[in-house]
Amino acid sequence: MHIPTMAEVVAEGKSVDILFYVGCAGSFDQRAQKITKAFATILKRLDINFAILGKEEICNGDPARRAGNEFLFQMMAHQNIELLNGYGIKKIVTTCPHCFNILKNEYPVLGGNYEVVHHTVFLQQLIDEGKLKMKEQGEFKGKKITYHDSCYLGRGNNIYEAPRTVLEAMDLELIEMERSRSRGFCCGAGGSQVFKEEEKGTERVNNARAQQAIETGAKVIATNCPYCMMMLNDGVKFNKKEEEVKVIDLAELIAESMDNP
């Protein structure tokens, strides 16, 4: 897609308005890569001055800290902060709530002070400013869609309305699950659970959450997190509904619905 890297931008003596921090899932998971491409497409179509770190980007250390490896987290965090500060980064946008939370709330104490924005909030700001416009007859107009509140965006950072405002801009029918907003139900991947075997129990968390979404009758489950995307996709397949119900990130919904040339 010819996305500039910070190294290229600095070599040309230029600067950027925002750094798009892609994250591990957005870089390496095949499904999450589509979210990355969708968000980058939106930024390019709106002529937003942005760059990525490219091969210089390493994990921010969130999975390590959540799993209890504080030493590894500190090593990663200090390496990231040295790189970001070296480039003079002021504003970061990310499509992952885990990246968003740790960069915003846990990096400052280590010397990493940035304006960090999750992509759902960034998209809402673009809509409010009139820069991002929706098609009159968008692909999702009138469709029944339910929205899953990811833990780190919702209960972790109290961001509930921005993603719903983005969805409403597409003139669709938003159907809330019984467990939503501050009463939301985890997808089962947070706290590094996605990387380990689950404890014994009667039901997997992601299968239960997918069932709650399916019960709304919605044909699309909107997400804001690559981890949630993975878990809910698996849950929909477990419930044998993959032909009827699709899990789609807000960036992908907007990329398909935006009217900007």
Could you tell me the sign of the dihedral formed by the alpha carbons of 67, 68, 72, 78, in that order? Answer: positive
Q: What pLDDT does 28 receive? A: 95
Q: What average pLDDT does this structure show over 169-187?
A: 92
- 193 pLDDT above the threshold of 90: no
pLDDT tens-digit map of 55-93: 999 999 999 999 999 999 999 999 999 999 999 999 999
Q: What average pLDDT does this structure show over 101-114?
A: 97
Return the structure tokens found at 252.
């992908």
DSSP H helical ranges for 91-242: 97-101, 119-128, 161-168, 205-214, 226-238
Q: What average pLDDT does this structure show over 183-201?
A: 81
Which of residues 203 and 53 earns the better pLDDT score? Answer: 53
Residue carrying the six token digits 């804001």: 224
Q: Distance between the two ends of the chain, CA-based, in angstroms? A: 17
φ, ψ for residue 9 (rounded to 5)? -65, -45
- 198 pLDDT above the threshold of 80: no
- Among 189, 181, 188, CA closest to 164: 181
Dist CA 147 CA 248 (whole Å): 10
Q: What pLDDT does 6 receive? A: 98
> Domains in the chain and their CATH numbers?
6-124 (3.40.50.1860), 133-257 (3.40.50)
How many helices (H) and strands (E) would you count in the chain? 11, 8
Return the structure tokens found at 204.
């997997």
Q: In what order do the strands lie in the sheet with 144-147?
A: 173-174, 144-147, 220-223, 246-249
Residue-averaged pLDDT of the chain = 94
Dist CA 95 CA 1 (whole Å): 17
Return the structure tokens found at 69.
């490896």
Residue 39, number of CB atoms within 10 A of its CB = 26
